[in-house]
Structure 1
Amino acid sequence: MSVTIAGRPVGPGHPVYVIAEIGLNHNGDVNLAKRLIDVAADAGADAVKLQKRTPELATPAHMRDVERETPWGTMTYLEYRRRVELDREQYIEIGDHATLRGLTWFASPWDEPSVDFLESLNVAAYKVASASVTDLALLRAIGATGRPVILSTGMSTLEQIDAAVAALDADDRLIVLHATSTYPMPAEEANLRMIPALGARYSGVPIGYSGHERGLQISLAATALGATVIERHITLDRTMWGSDHAASLEPQGLEHLVRDIRIIEQALGDGFKRVQPGELAPMAKLRRVGA
């Protein structure tokens, strides 16, 4: 089964859908967000994703007054969240830039008013962040929009994922991503065998991978294991200030990721054994006994 996002089918038998996750790596700067969109487009990604919050609702109560050093000085975590949030006009400007560069854009809403905000912008799809898997009221609001939904499953048990899938009630609109929410993620926590395991558990649902590791190897292995979506954070420079930059791909890394995913897609083939065209000359030269 495939899910269509902005006219693009996503699922088995279709090219891997590559999502460049901008998240909060724009640091509240529209021009930086546009530069990251350009990076995604130049690399050949299919979509870019942001995050949308109502800071007063989405910031955990125990974190709101925690002080944090930022490029704009010392401020509370809630003040920081307000500082990096983008408003409607900024989203329109960013979304228009993504469209002009040939990319689909969407976002992860972290609270119900953010769903309403994104609905007003006619967003192409919704991404559920791993942190929101247990927020069933939010998931019901997302599912009720009728739009395609991509569900990340980091920091969650199978029972919690089952409950999330039921709350979304998205049927043929759902894509599930295996994820481990460690930033950056060490290889021993990747557990990539969950990709086919999730495929067996949620029959007919396209399964992908959202990665937070350094490098490309694990995401490429996920592709070989059947991931139909690959999502990675992107940045201009991993040394930039912000919590996600260290686990992000720089421009050349994203370019290489997309290139190598497309090579792996060709290399996987169809699973039927046949004599390949390039084998005919070696066979004539080397085989002593014919069939």
Structure 2
Amino acid sequence: MTPDKFDFRDLFVLDLANNHQGDVDHGKRVIREHGAAVAEAGVRAAMKFQFRDLPDFVHPDDRKSSTNKHVPRFLSTRLPWKAYEEMLAEARAQGMLGMCTPFDEASVDQIERMDFDIIKVASCSAADWPLLERVAASGLPVIASTGGLTIHEVDALNSFLQHRACDYALMHCVSIYPTPDDACNLGNIAEFKERYRGVVIGWSTHENPADTVHVGLAQALGAEMFERHVGVPTDEITLNAYSATPDQTRDWLAAWTRARRIIGRPERGEPRPEEAEAIDGLARGIFARRAIEKGQAIRAEDVYFAFPRREGQIASGAWTDGMMATDPIAADAPLTPDAVSVPERGRETVLKRAVHEVKALLTKARVPLNHDFTTEYSHHYGVERFNEIGAVLITVVNRDYAKKILVQLPGQSHPLHYHKLKEETFVVVYGDLNIELDGQLRTLVPGDTLTVRPGVWHRFWTETGCIFEEISTTAHRGDSVYRDPAINRLEHAERKTVVDHWGRFQLNEALGNR
């Protein structure tokens, strides 16, 4: 999250709407009681108001008599701007942000005058282009709801907010009050996450507030921002079927907190000790099928795999051809590291592990490959240092024009060099790419391009992992000149391992020749 961008993540929007009932004191009570629920949960929240400049918003004829059910409600709960200033001050006193939905251009003016933190676009205004233009001109962070919009209309809304350089987030929303389960369509959240990458997606909820299952499901599908209507019932005031009481807000936030704990972190970390112990207790080990003499090469027919694995025993998954007995091993005895030496295949292991990591990064970045390509594992200071100084270059085509996909794993760098003939343009697809070009340092992000002309010194590296396309003139072997003369003295095969496809059956042979 860049410093000048609003962080929409883990934001809870509490919509007061007309639940102040036209009474500023009751409105402040709603804010206080729901503010207490927010404070108890320890979450970040915004109290949202709705502004309509009623003298101009409602048509003159409808102000006298209207068949629209909303008009009487709007008119009967009308408050002066001063009352909203008091309620906004109360929200901030409760530690909440101020947020407001305008339904006309004059209300945006008032939002600016009152210095709200966030502006909201209601679903009914998400295709109201005159109002959207005014909202965009405010410069405030924007949250836009999408209830009732087709996917093409959401595309248009997203494109508009992008083109106006708005700092914005989108809410999946269903404008049915209350929303039945079969209309929630929470799967739209995952679709929005995929379709509008980099945009925070939320869930604006109108289901029965006593039902808390939806917030956990929405979070699991990728929602990072949540909204619901709130109020406080009294002997005279009955809440509508989709507005939450303070206790229901507590339950809602507790359900979100529990779901967050269950979902956990997205990164796959090391297993917990109890999990590792449980898995280890179900593993097979390697046993000697017959007596094995010291110094004997151990073949597949000399061993068998059985459960349970003994303490300190080599697991069946670690079996490899070429093991050697360093001590005698009795029949049916477990093979242990003390009695067996494993062949050194460090260089092959480094590159085979890189294959898995590179393929995983390409999959994560959704970069498809067919089966017809050549792969170069670049290791100018030896395979042993590949994880430090290295790159994987996938040649897609090399004719009068050429295209490669370059992948660098986290922490890898490529040494300073230039090309005698080749002109190349880098297009970053995934991750951040740091590049030094003719002594100038730049950081490229997805979508950025950079052209490197022949004879220009350049090097590149990444801290987090990066994928970028290299579109160039024909690539010729021997066209690269390195600043380090030791690299220039190396044979091509000493600094690059070149294989067809991923080299599943070639890596061992290729590395064995060195």
Q: Which deviates more, 21-30 or 108-117? A: 21-30
Q: Which residue of 1 aligns with 2:309?
A: 289
Match of 2:149 among 151, 156, 161: 156
Distance 2:31 2:138 in 1: 26
How has the CA–CA distance of structure 1 residues 93 and 286 changed in structure 2, closer, same or farther, with 3 Å as cutoff?
same
Superposed CA deviations along residues 158-214 of structure 1, whole A, max 9, x for unmatched, are 222233334444546110000000000000001111111112222211000000001
Q: Which residue of 1 aligns with 2:291?
A: none
Q: Which residue of 2 aligns with 1:191?
A: 185
Q: Which residue of 2 aligns with 1:99?
A: 92
Distance 2:62 2:190 in 1: 36
Amino acid in structure 2 at the alignment position of 1:208: G
What secondary structure sits across from 2:22 in the alignment? coil
The alpha-carbon deviation at position 86 of structure 1 amounts to 2.5
Q: Which residue of 1 aligns with 2:119?
A: 126
The structure with the largest helix share of the pair is 1
What secondary structure sits across from 1:82 in the alignment? helix
Distance 1:278 1:250 in 2: 41
Q: Which residue of 2 aligns with 1:58?
A: 57
Q: Which residue of 2 aligns with 1:140?
A: 133
Q: Which residue of 2 aligns with 1:73?
A: none
Q: Which residue of 2 aligns with 1:231?
A: 227
Task: Verify the 8 A CA contact 1:209 1:227 in the aligned structure 2.
Answer: yes
Task: Verify the 8 A CA contact 1:238 1:245 in the aligned structure 2.
Answer: no
Match of 1:222 among 218, 225, 242: 218
Gaps of 5+ in 1: 69-75
Matched residues, number: 276
Q: Which deviates more, 157-166 or 142-151? A: 157-166
Distance 2:71 2:229 in 1: 23
Match of 1:10 among 5, 8, 26: 8
Q: Which residue of 2 aligns with 1:112?
A: 105
Amino acid in structure 2 at the alignment position of 1:262: T
The alpha-carbon deviation at position 39 of structure 1 amounts to 2.5
Task: Verify the 8 A CA contact 1:238 1:248 in the aligned structure 2.
Answer: no
Distance 1:61 1:130 in 2: 24
What secondary structure sits across from 1:226 in the alignment? coil
How has the CA–CA distance of structure 1 residues 47 and 277 changed in structure 2, closer, same or farther, with 3 Å as cutoff?
farther
Q: Which residue of 2 aligns with 1:257?
A: 252
Match of 2:271 among 275, 278, 281: 275
Distance 2:116 2:267 in 1: 37
Identity of aligned residues (%): 29
The alpha-carbon deviation at position 22 of structure 1 amounts to 1.0
Superposed CA deviations along residues 15-72 of structure 1, whole A, max 9, x for unmatched, are x21111111111111112111112222122511111000124434789652269xxxx
Task: Verify the 8 A CA contact 1:139 1:164 in the aligned structure 2.
Answer: no
What secondary structure sits across from 2:111 in the alignment? helix
Q: Which residue of 1 aligns with 2:426?
A: none
Match of 2:204 among 185, 194, 210: 210
Amino acid in structure 2 at the alignment position of 1:249: A
What secondary structure sits across from 1:131 in the alignment? helix
The alpha-carbon deviation at position 260 of structure 1 amounts to 2.1
Q: Does 1:21 align with 2:15?
A: yes
How has the CA–CA distance of structure 1 residues 163 and 147 changed in structure 2, closer, same or farther, with 3 Å as cutoff?
same
TM normalised by structure 2 equals 0.49
How has the CA–CA distance of structure 1 residues 172 and 113 changed in structure 2, closer, same or farther, with 3 Å as cutoff?
closer
Amino acid in structure 2 at the alignment position of 1:10: F
Distance 2:8 2:79 in 1: 29
What secondary structure sits across from 2:79 in the alignment? coil
Superposed CA deviations along residues 218-249 of structure 1, whole A, max 9, x for unmatched, are 1221011110101011122399757x721111
Task: Verify the 8 A CA contact 2:145 2:173 in the aligned structure 1.
Answer: yes
Task: Verify the 8 A CA contact 1:40 1:48 in the aligned structure 2.
Answer: no
Distance 1:83 1:255 in 2: 30
